[in-house]
Chains A and B, each alone.
Chain A
Amino acid sequence: MLLTPLALALSALAVPIVLMYVLKLRRQEHVVPSTFLWDQAMEDVQANAPWQRLRFNILLLLQLLALAVLIFSLARPVYSRSHVIAGDLVVIVDESYGMQAHDVTPSRFAVALARARSLVSEVGSGNVISVIGMSAQPHLAIAEGSDQGAIGRAIDSLHAGVDQPNFLEALSLAASLARAGQNTRAVVLTSRDSGIASLPLPVTFPVDIVRIGAKLRDLGITAFSASQQSTQVEAVARVSNFGSQTARSDLELLADGHLVDVRPLTVQAHGEQNLFWTSLPVGVQQLQVRLTHADNVETDKSAWAVIPAEPTRRVLLVSAGDFFMEAALLDEPSVKLTVVPPFAYRVAMERAYDLVIFDGFLPATFPAGSALLIAPAAGQVGSLRFGGNLRGGSVTEASSGAIGSLGFLLQYVDLTDVHTALARSVSLPGWLQPLAVSNGHAVLAAGERPASPALGSGTARFALVSFDLQRSDWPLRVSFPIMLQNLLHYLVPGLTLGTTDVTTGQAVKFFPPPGTRELKVVRQDGVADYLGPPFPPFVDTSRPGLYTVKTVQATSRGGAGSQSESFAVNFFPARPAPVPGPDTLHLGHVQAGKTITASVPVSIGWIFVLLALAILGLEWWVAFRGLRLK
């Protein structure tokens, strides 16, 4: 078929070419001594008539042939391809874990990409193509493109991950790309067991769902967790068989990298099996279970668990002797307590401790780290100035407006039955927030000291109890050890995580201690990410495995300069049983099994341009290289 048949009118150009062979060339004269030898060399030279008889000439033939081919290419020859898509096309490629299965060669995802390229190549000119990568958060690889090269590169940029497909969002995104009157059609390339066939999908345009996959063999770990009890560590795992045949494998359990147990498994088709471990030794920090038998899926063969450990808090108590305080501190298992009398206290001691508690003693300067001041003597330290003793009374919580963001310090603390005889008068600076008052005076306060030359660029937490514990009934109340524990967690927080068990794609929130300049998150494969203040949630949890987060302090203070914690990122697949049916499902306004087809012209003019050039090259060679073809 020719798109521009009018170009054939250029065939009239053959007339002047033939005329040039009929009419003789007007040549410039040149006088020579004799034409005797030239006459012998040019036997076929004609007489001087203005025209000559048209004879067979290979050059003329080649020139006419080149002209014909060239004119034919200008007429834009095309051929029609059948079974092609008419209208715009939105290709949705499933990037979820289900596409990583190797039950088809080379993999479901590779087959999907090949199908996508094939679909794109069949779209006619004038229509646009969009490509959507469908994972938990579908994304647009290319929107309304018509450049085959750019579309191909967009398809190549897709990759299969380990999260769940979000069909609703992907189709919603496709619907937003549909142009009115352009017969937009979507093709979803997904896995056979993705569950899309059973979803109620609200489609407003034709959607073809191409389900890729064959007979799957997949035995995967679908749950794993561990916890520390008083004397032992317990763990539980669940293994599911997503295949249609009974699967067998060994399940290995590793504790801190060492193999501690192997369980042989036999799981029926579409069945599952739970496994328990109840006597794992205390002190184990990391557990891993793994299936030894390989099948069509690789990503669900391992799972990890981290057993959270309480941080150690090194506390220096500067006191002449306070039974209640020492007993309360020793009751906290994370505390390593050191008691020194005031006369033995040296400022240099602070560097070896996370917290210094001054009981009945007012230091000359604030320590560089966290500090708790109890019943200080009259005097001044920093911006804190203590006066004489005031008459006490009932201790009550300060107003919620005054407590501000430190309300968690009073969690589970009941002060209604607490009384004090005396309390030291104190004028609180702005950074210190009152938590409790007695007789109108602040007796309990906490806050973060602002940066100072001693603190460097960081801050230090500080708390104040302005009355003497021994001259109050607070040590006898339940609220005292609770409050002390709250203060310890506030003053020596350590590195805490929002959670220690994370699923792929889930964000993790870190709570670094004061003075942390940076957090370094190291993946199992060694890749590191860095987080700075204000320490946003860590979101790059796309790969299952053990992750380690370390703090980098603004100032190095003894052994407390860096802390680290681990957390496990697991992928537990939820693979629905495949719904039987055809490979391709048709939704929307299209009848099942019917494919929109149209004739799309595919240009082949370039072939004839190349052919014309080849013929002209042959003509030149014949003319100037002396090939005698007559």
Chain B
Amino acid sequence: MIDTMRGQNHSAYFGFDSAFLQRLERLSILNRQPLAGASAGPRRSPRHGASVEFADFRTYVSGDDFRRIDWKAYARLDRLFLRLYRAEEITVISILLDHSVSMQFGNPSKALTAARLAAILSYVALHNYDTVAVAGWGDSIDQYFPGQSGKKAVPRIWQAIARLMEAPAPATDFASLRTYGKYRRGPGIAVVLSDFLTKSDWRAGLRSLRAGGQEVAAIQVLAPDEIDPVLRGDWKLVDAETGAQTEVTISPRVLRRYRQALEQHTTAITEFCRREGISFVQLRSDVDLTGTVLADLRAVAILE
């Protein structure tokens, strides 16, 4: 379980130093499609606005702002054209963090790794003047921290992330993501962090976020023991979330079948995300977050 970060230095809590944070400041959250945000910001918007980035011309119609008429074109062509500029708007980054009991396993725990990833993404977003909202979910969205903007919001967001880790949800149910629309409407980027080890319909959960106008990125965090189990012999395995029991005799043959099942599950998520335009990456909980993980996130178009 993660201790509270109250009274601690935030960067030290997540294991970040100033050099690492400076590296993060050169990054931004990548949106594949221009988003239509509510307020002006540094991101491109599908709506035309008053920024300096030229977008197109159109014929003047009554009621248009005179200030956008291209007088030079009128002088040459003797017709009124309106210059259109791409609107630059603020994007809302929603970090949906699975804090169920299953995320507490691993060394380091999947929950800690997911929290550190959330902290990295929130820092990048806030540094680029995006709005960051954090939702903790398990069998439901049980905690929600409304959007915060500006670098001054970093401590609050990180504290909110840390608190999520202190109170694990009893189970993982991707159906709970359908209710995210109650907390956040409109376009944005939703980053889902989970181990995806659930029988719940994760496809429906991710689709619901897409349907709510979110551009979705999915990050699967697995413990090393889950990728390559070290157990051997006869065991009664108890599911930490459901309490379900499975008796196994872990032999080399059973291990092969387990790895096949994991590979099939990973392939299913990857294929689904590719079809739905969702960025997806699988990470180990012992991954070096200050090292190669940034390259991994850039490779799958979550960061740029």
Residues of A that sit less than 8 Å from B by CB: 24-25, 27-42, 45-46, 48, 623-626
Smallest CB separation, A326 vs chain B (Å) = 115
Q: What are the residues of chain B within 8 A of A46 when measuring CB–CB?
A: 247
Judge whether B251 and A30 touch: CB under 8 Å: no
Judge whether B248 and A42 touch: CB under 8 Å: yes
Complex: A157 Cα to B102 Cα, angstroms: 81
Smallest CB separation, A410 vs chain B (Å) = 108
**Among B103, B105, B198, B237, contact of A38 (Cβ-Cβ < 8 Å):** B237
Q: What are the residues of chain B within 8 A of A31 when measuring CB–CB?
A: 237-238, 240
Judge whether A29 and B262 touch: CB under 8 Å: no
Judge whether A30 and B261 touch: CB under 8 Å: no
Judge whether B102 and A34 touch: CB under 8 Å: yes
Smallest CB separation, A141 vs chain B (Å) = 59
Q: Is B258 an interface residue (CB 8 A)?
A: yes
Smallest CB separation, B111 vs chain A (Å) = 10
**Among B237, B262, B265, contact of A30 (Cβ-Cβ < 8 Å):** B237
Q: What are the residues of chain A within 8 A of B198 when measuring CB–CB?
A: 34, 36
B residues 207-266 in Cβ contact with A at 8 Å = 223, 226, 231, 234-242, 244-249, 251-254, 256-258, 260-262, 264-265
Judge whether A39 and B241 touch: CB under 8 Å: no
Judge whether A38 and B246 touch: CB under 8 Å: yes
Judge whether B105 and A33 touch: CB under 8 Å: yes
Q: Is B199 an interface residue (CB 8 A)?
A: yes
Judge whether A37 and B262 touch: CB under 8 Å: yes
**Among B199, B238, B253, contact of A32 (Cβ-Cβ < 8 Å):** B238
Complex: A34 Cα to B194 Cα, angstroms: 13
Q: What are the residues of chain A within 8 A of B236 when measuring CB–CB?
A: 27-30, 48
**Among A25, A34, A624, contact of B241 (Cβ-Cβ < 8 Å):** A34
Judge whether A34 and B247 touch: CB under 8 Å: no
Complex: A33 Cα to B100 Cα, angstroms: 10
Smallest CB separation, A474 vs chain B (Å) = 118
**Among A25, A33, A37, A40, contact of B240 (Cβ-Cβ < 8 Å):** A33
Judge whether B247 and A41 touch: CB under 8 Å: no
Best-buried of A32, A39, A42 by chain B (most CB within 10 Å): A32
Complex: A227 Cα to B167 Cα, angstroms: 130
Query: Would you mind naming 26 contact pairs between A and B with Cβ atoms under 8 Å apart?
Result: A25-B247, A25-B249, A27-B234, A27-B236, A28-B234, A30-B231, A30-B237, A30-B238, A31-B238, A31-B240, A32-B105, A33-B105, A33-B226, A33-B240, A33-B241, A35-B237, A35-B238, A36-B199, A37-B197, A38-B258, A41-B248, A41-B260, A42-B257, A48-B245, A626-B251, A626-B256
Judge whether A33 and B197 touch: CB under 8 Å: yes
Complex: A39 Cα to B244 Cα, angstroms: 10
Closest to A40 in B: B261
Smallest CB separation, B221 vs chain A (Å) = 11
Judge whether B246 and A24 touch: CB under 8 Å: no
Judge whether A42 and B254 touch: CB under 8 Å: yes
Specify the main secondary structure of chain A where it touches its partner.
Answer: mixed
Q: Is B195 an interface residue (CB 8 A)?
A: yes
Q: Known: A27-B235, A32-B238, A626-B256. Contact between A37 and B261, CB under 8 A? A: yes
Complex: A40 Cα to B263 Cα, angstroms: 12
Besides A31-B238, A31-B240, A42-B247, 5 more A-B contacts (Cβ < 8 Å) are: A30-B231, A33-B104, A42-B248, A625-B252, A626-B251
Complex: A46 Cα to B262 Cα, angstroms: 21
Closest to B172 in A: A34
Complex: A625 Cα to B251 Cα, angstroms: 9
Complex: A626 Cα to B257 Cα, angstroms: 11
Smallest CB separation, B202 vs chain A (Å) = 11
Smallest CB separation, A628 vs chain B (Å) = 8
Q: Known: A25-B234, A28-B236. Contact between A33 and B248, CB under 8 A? A: no
Judge whether B247 and A27 touch: CB under 8 Å: yes
Closest to A628 in B: B253
Smallest CB separation, A22 vs chain B (Å) = 15
Closest to A32 in B: B237
Q: What are the residues of chain A within 8 A of B238 when measuring CB–CB?
A: 29-32, 35
Q: What are the residues of chain A within 8 A of B264 when measuring CB–CB?
A: 40
Specify the main secondary structure of chain B where it touches its partner.
Answer: mixed
Closest to A42 in B: B248
Best-buried of A25, A36, A48 by chain B (most CB within 10 Å): A36
Q: What are the residues of chain B within 8 A of A24 when measuring CB–CB?
A: 247
Closest to B103 in A: A33
Smallest CB separation, B67 vs chain A (Å) = 60
Q: Known: A30-B235, A33-B223, A33-B226. Contact between A38 and B248, CB under 8 A? A: yes
Complex: A626 Cα to B251 Cα, angstroms: 9
Judge whether A33 and B234 touch: CB under 8 Å: no
Complex: A25 Cα to B236 Cα, angstroms: 10
Q: What are the residues of chain B within 8 A of A39 when measuring CB–CB?
A: 244, 246
Q: What are the residues of chain B within 8 A of A35 when measuring CB–CB?
A: 237-239, 242, 244-246
Q: Known: A32-B238, A35-B237. Contact between A45 and B262, CB under 8 A? A: no
**Among A28, A33, A41, contact of B235 (Cβ-Cβ < 8 Å):** A28
Complex: A48 Cα to B106 Cα, angstroms: 27
Judge whether A41 and B257 touch: CB under 8 Å: yes
**Among A33, A41, A45, A48, contact of B261 (Cβ-Cβ < 8 Å):** A41
Q: What are the residues of chain B within 8 A of A625 when measuring CB–CB?
A: 252
Complex: A25 Cα to B103 Cα, angstroms: 30
Best-buried of B104, B110, B247, B249 by chain A (most CB within 10 Å): B247
Q: What are the residues of chain B within 8 A of A32 when measuring CB–CB?
A: 105, 237-240
Complex: A404 Cα to B58 Cα, angstroms: 167
Q: What are the residues of chain A within 8 A of B260 when measuring CB–CB?
A: 41
Q: What are the residues of chain A within 8 A of B261 when measuring CB–CB?
A: 37, 40-41
Q: What are the residues of chain B within 8 A of A626 when measuring CB–CB?
A: 251-253, 256
Judge whether A33 and B102 touch: CB under 8 Å: yes
Judge whether B258 and A34 touch: CB under 8 Å: no
Q: What are the residues of chain B within 8 A of A41 when measuring CB–CB?
A: 248, 254, 257-258, 260-261
Q: What are the residues of chain A within 8 A of B235 when measuring CB–CB?
A: 27-30
Smallest CB separation, B75 vs chain A (Å) = 70
Q: What are the residues of chain B within 8 A of A48 when measuring CB–CB?
A: 236, 245, 247
Complex: A41 Cα to B103 Cα, angstroms: 21
Complex: A626 Cα to B153 Cα, angstroms: 57
Smallest CB separation, A630 vs chain B (Å) = 12
Complex: A27 Cα to B254 Cα, angstroms: 16
Q: What are the residues of chain A within 8 A of B199 when measuring CB–CB?
A: 36
Judge whether A37 and B248 touch: CB under 8 Å: no
Complex: A36 Cα to B237 Cα, angstroms: 11
Judge whether A33 and B195 touch: CB under 8 Å: yes
Q: Known: A37-B197, A38-B258. Contact between A45 and B234, CB under 8 A? A: no
Q: Known: A41-B258, A46-B247. Contact between A34 and B239, CB under 8 A? A: yes
Best-buried of B241, B248, B249 by chain A (most CB within 10 Å): B248
Complex: A592 Cα to B237 Cα, angstroms: 83
Complex: A623 Cα to B195 Cα, angstroms: 33
Complex: A32 Cα to B250 Cα, angstroms: 14
Q: What are the residues of chain A within 8 A of B246 when measuring CB–CB?
A: 35, 38-39, 42, 45
Smallest CB separation, B162 vs chain A (Å) = 21
Q: What are the residues of chain A within 8 A of B104 when measuring CB–CB?
A: 33
Q: What are the residues of chain A within 8 A of B103 when measuring CB–CB?
A: 33
Complex: A231 Cα to B212 Cα, angstroms: 147
Complex: A40 Cα to B198 Cα, angstroms: 12
Complex: A573 Cα to B197 Cα, angstroms: 102
Smallest CB separation, A520 vs chain B (Å) = 77
Smallest CB separation, B44 vs chain A (Å) = 40
B residues 246-303 in Cβ contact with A at 8 Å = 246-249, 251-254, 256-258, 260-262, 264-265
Q: What are the residues of chain B within 8 A of A36 when measuring CB–CB?
A: 197-199, 239, 265
Closest to B246 in A: A35
Question: What are the 4 closest A-B residue pairs judged by CB atoms, nearest first?
Answer: A626-B253, A33-B102, A34-B197, A40-B261
Smallest CB separation, B130 vs chain A (Å) = 32
Smallest CB separation, A290 vs chain B (Å) = 79
Closest to B252 in A: A626
Complex: A624 Cα to B235 Cα, angstroms: 17
Smallest CB separation, B87 vs chain A (Å) = 45
Q: What are the residues of chain B within 8 A of A38 when measuring CB–CB?
A: 237, 246, 248, 258
